[in-house]
Amino acid sequence: MSRQKTNEILALYRKDEKSAFKLLFDTYYIPLVLFANKIIHNEHSSEDIVQETLISF
């Protein structure tokens, strides 16, 4: 994940582009689940945590 891609996603999000959330989800979901799973050691809970976090946006 490059900083440029992150900035592009944030720019779309700020413009309230509907595609921004899908792009954000597609880009960060798996890495965030893997990160959460390293901490809590439960894949199902890690998926739930990441989904709930992303939905809060």
What span, in angstroms and rounded, lies between the C-alpha atoms of 33 and 52?
12
**What is the percent of the chain where pLDDT is above 70?**
96
* Cα separation, 29 vs 19, whole angstroms: 15
Average pLDDT value over all residues in the chain? 89
Gap between the Cα atoms of 51 and 21, Å rounded: 12
pLDDT band with cut points at 50, 70 and 90 for residue 1 = low
Any idea where the domains of the chain sit in the sequence?
Answer: 3-55
**Whether the Cβ atoms of residue 46 and residue 33 lie closer than 8 Å to each other:** yes
CB distance 54 to 29 below 8 Å: yes
